[in-house]
Structure formats: C-alpha cells, structure tokens
Chain A
C-alpha cells in the first residue's frame, strides 16, 4: 500500500473564537458557574471541528448535561472533603483514600474525553488498567524522588506509554514505543535552560540593582530597590522557568509523535521547533496579562495553529478502513454516565 503524508489543518479564527469565548464567559458568570459545562462543550467543538486531516474533521460529542453531572459530583465531593477535613482523624484518612482514588479518576477522565471525540465520524476510546495508572502517576514519581529526579525521564515515558497505548481509534489501537534518549534530551536541555538562564538573569539583575544593604530591606519606607528586588522571582519565572517548560513540552511532543503508530501502519510526525514554541508561549502569556485576559482567544488560536502546522500523519493506504469497537456499538450511552469529566489530564499530546 502507498504512504501519503497529510498535514494537520487548523482553520480556527481569532474573531470567531473570541465570540464563543466571551459569550461562554458571560453565561458562566450569569449562571454562577453552571453554564461552564456547556461552555466546555462549545470550546471543544470549536477547536475539534476546525481541526482536520485529509478534509475529515474531528468532533466533540459530550453534552453539557453529562459534563454538568460530572462537575456536580466533583463539587459535592470537594465540599464534603473540606468539611470532613475539619475533623482531625479524617484530615489524615481522607487524603490517603483520595490518593488511591486518583488513578481511577484519571483513567475515567481519559476514557470520557476519548469516547467523546471523533474523527471522520468514528469515535476514539481509551482503556487503562487501574494498577498501571497507579504505577505511572503515583508510584514511579514517588520512587523518582530517591534518584534526585535523575530517573524522571523514565517516569515521563511511562506516563506517555500508559496514555497512548490505552487509546484506540475505533478498533485500531495506538502503540507507543520509544528509547529513553529523547526523553533525557528533553529533560536535560530544559534543565540546562532553566538553570543557565536563571543564573545569568539573577547575576544581571543583581549587577543592575547593585549590592543590597540588608538593613535597607528592613526599613519601613518603600525603597525602590526593594521593589526591584521583589521582581526578581517574576523575572526568573518569565525568562528561565516558563521557557524551560515549553522546551520540554516541544521535545516530548516530538518524541511521542515519533514513537506512536496506529494499527494499520499509520505513523505520526511532529516537528515543533523548541525555541519557536518558547517565543509563542512567552509572548502569548505576556499578551494575555497585559490585555487583562482579552487576548486569550488570540493566544489560544495562535498556539493551536502553530501546533497543527507542525503535525503530520503518514497514512498507509487511506483513512476509510477503520471500524467501531464492539463495546461502543452496544452501550456508549449507558457508559457515558459512569465516566467522569472534571479532572483534566494536562498532557502535551
């Protein structure tokens, strides 16, 4: 069969999304948060319907009511948790119980989002085992502490492996396999940036502000130097920590795409340029802050467009041959209510 490379096309527009965003915000405020469930559906539908491969678009199928029910459960649980935490014994027992609930919640959340997403008229799915989630989200990160986080790339790879391998498109399974090299590269380069640029920034700022007299810091009056000094953590965050996060995200995304295949011989390519992503991410964050949030739709569309433009799918044959899974055929509707929405897993894939 022949291989065809398809570009991922994003057609979202700032103006159109701004309208959706601001109406969402108004209705959410006026309904004291209740509309946020429907707001999520509209945002998801906008971004998914404006994303296509080979002229076939993605779509999002959850209803506001499904999401509202999930959120009510989460909010009631949160209120009960806060009240019960006021009892000293419970304050110890509850968090322990919650820890064991986390892997289950994360799996349900991934399953819900996968089941509610379709491409070319066919739904995705996710199945993950509880203990595997327990290992990758709780046990491995805990063990990594004892290696001074030097083994963290192994944890990162295990998480991606859990997420990707659990997903399927119809009956076709996703498979993820990757050496550890790309994960260490992401980890080390991001770390190098954070530490290197952070130190340079602090050194520059200290040179700029001049030597600090400790006695002046305790003085009552608002010393301009003291104000400058309080900006140092913010400056380090903007030039060192946030960019390191974007660098890490870019390398990991590229590695995950490269290591993923979809049953049937379909492959994925992501060629995000880390420094370009840093520029987009940082300028987005600054634009949002300076505009008091009004430029957020612009920032989101810009980021989505960049990511889509650097994503490709290498299709083996065509995209017509996928079929629905048996389980989805039987009871997708009945299952929906056992799924939980409300805990989003932030993964850069």
Chain B
C-alpha cells in the first residue's frame, strides 16, 4: 500500500444527519476501513466504497451508517481502496491537448444530428403518435373552421364528383381515408389546405377563380401529397426536436449561443418547409395524372399565380418557394424544358 500511512490517512469525517466535521483518520486493513477521530474513538467501521471524484473536489470514501471520509490525498485513498467506479470520465475531462479532438468531435456530431439524427427522432415520434390523436386534430380544426370561417359549398354537384375521383388515385393514406371537402370561405379567398389526418379543404373561391378541372386536380393532388408524406407532423416534430435538443444543450452553450441556434433553426425549418412544397408538387402531379388529369395544368397555375401576386420577396424567408421557381421545377419534371 504505497503512500498510505500505517497509522491512517488524515482527513475529515462527516457523520450522518448532521453538519458536524471531525478531524479524523481512515485506517484500511484487510479490505475493512475504520474511521477514527482525534481522541481515538472509532466513528465507523466496515467496508468502504471509493466514490468517484470530480476535478478540484476532495476524494471521498463512503462508509457504513452514512459516514463519509474526505481527503485531498487522492493517490493514497486510491492505493487503499482501489480506483473509483466511473473515474475514467474525470480522466477524459482533464485539461489536455486531446480536448481539441473533442471540440472537433462536437462539430462533427452537430453535423451528424442535423443530417441523420433529426430524421430518426422525427420518424420515432411519428411512429409513437396515436392515430386517434391525429384524427382528433382534423375533426377539431374542421369543426372550428365550419363554425367561424366557412359555409356549405355552393358549387355544382358535377364539380364535386370530379374532385372525389382524385382520392382513389392517391397513395394509401397514412392515418385513415382522405376526405376532400369543399367549403365556401369568403374570408380566406381562393385557397386549398390539408390537415395532418387526411382532410383536404378546397375553397369555393378557388374553384371559381381557377375553374379549370385540371388545375383543381393538380392543386388537390399537391395537398394530398402533403398528407401522404406526413409533412405536417414532420414539420411539427422536427421543430420540436430541434427546440428540445437546443434546450438540453443550452445549459452547456449559454443563453447567447442558444438564441443563435434557435434563430438558425427557424431559417432551416423554412428551407425544410420549401423542400416539402417541392416534394408535394412532384407527387401531386403524379396523383393528378394517374386520375386522368393534365399534370401540366400546375405550370399554368403557378404562372398565373406569379402574374397575380407580382414580385415576391426573397425565398429564404418564406415557407413557400417562389411561384416562378415552382413552375420551372414542374416543367423540368414533366420534361417540357425551357
């Protein structure tokens, strides 16, 4: 037992249930430890456990009955009681040039999470989401829309039947059947949107502004694609995952960097949303074509939209790509270059 004084290692003893500190010695013989105070009284006796220490802190031996022995002579205690469990972590944390590799590891790790980790988390969260909850989101929203914003559709029956044909051409729905709804929504104007559970709403105002059945089919195909690719839930979970991850490491990066990360995430989530729009455009025209409609109608629609809305701000701060870009992308997909 190198470095261990035969009359005991000097240090301090702390008793159970009080703040009292004893000047004490720890004697270790044959695997058993004895904590002895200045007057020679044995305070505690029995097997002792060497607790893992942290840089700058004392070495501790935990004895029976809640007694703790503290010393600054780390080597002597280790010699007597053996290495503490979990001590490798303290050695890994020691100030050393190899910490530069740890810094590099952090950067690579952030890239890995951004590239693969988030998708894994999102997939896991979607798998764990009860379908009834998603259906409840649809029901609740539709009820609220009907109460506040919408009236029954005033469109002719024929148009309604055409629209219903699309659902059968779509890929199998992820959370229950697609429900294509027509609603008269004067406050919303010409628009179409999808709820995560499979409800797709098209306003009468849209059908009146763009009466071409091919355009309606392409736009509905786009919304159906959002549902079948679970874009709504994906975006929700992705931003939630990033928020939680940033919050978890925030304790270690500080408030300033946390804000930078959250702002950056906002920009990235916009890029993510725009990628989803392109994906839905591509899948949407496929659905429309399969149902017997002209997919090129989407090009006409975006060009018309571009003409109506005029110049738009830069794409990087928008949830949707620019209409002109979308028209070009669809044109490329359909092989109608230029």
Contact = CB atoms under 8 A, between A and B. Distances in A.
A19 B99 contact: yes
30 contacts: A11-B56, A13-B55, A13-B56, A16-B56, A16-B95, A18-B95, A20-B55, A21-B252, A29-B113, A29-B249, A46-B55, A50-B56, A83-B129, A86-B140, A86-B141, A87-B141, A88-B140, A88-B141, A120-B21, A121-B14, A122-B17, A122-B18, A122-B19, A288-B257, A289-B256, A296-B252, A296-B253, A320-B19, A322-B18, A322-B19
B20 A293 contact: no
Contact of B99 (A22, A88, A120, A329): A22
B106 A19 contact: no
A18 B99 contact: yes
B140 A78 contact: no
Contacts of A40: 251
A28 B245 CA distance: 9
A342 B236 CA distance: 22
B176 interface: no
Contacts of B109: 26, 29-30
A12 B106 contact: no
A45 B252 contact: no
B94 interface: yes
B140 A49 contact: no
A90 B136 CA distance: 11
Nearest 8 CB-CB pairings of A with B: A121-B14, A49-B57, A87-B140, A29-B109, A15-B95, A19-B93, A88-B144, A324-B17
Given A82-B236, A288-B254, A296-B254, 5 more contacts: A19-B55, A26-B106, A32-B117, A36-B252, A87-B140
A285 B241 CA distance: 27
> How big is chain B's contact interface, by range?
35 or more
Contacts of A329: 17
A30 B56 CA distance: 26
Interface in A295-348: 296, 299-300, 319-324, 329
B187 interface: no
A59 B14 CA distance: 13
B92 interface: yes
Contacts of B334: none
Interface of A: 11-13, 15-26, 28-30, 32-33, 36, 39-40, 42-43, 45-46, 49-50, 56-57, 59, 71, 75, 78-79, 82-84, 86-90, 119-122, 169-170, 285, 288-289, 292-294, 296, 299-300, 319-324, 329
Given A24-B252, A82-B236, A121-B68, A16 B55 contact: yes
Nearest to B129: A83
Contacts of B15: 121
Query: Chain B interface secondary structure, helix, strand, loop or mixed?
Result: helix
A87 B143 CA distance: 10
Contacts of A17: 55
A32 B99 CA distance: 20
Interface string B131-147: 00100110111011000
Nearest to B108: A29
B58 interface: yes
A18 B55 CA distance: 11
Given A18-B99, A29-B110, A122-B18, A43 B252 contact: yes
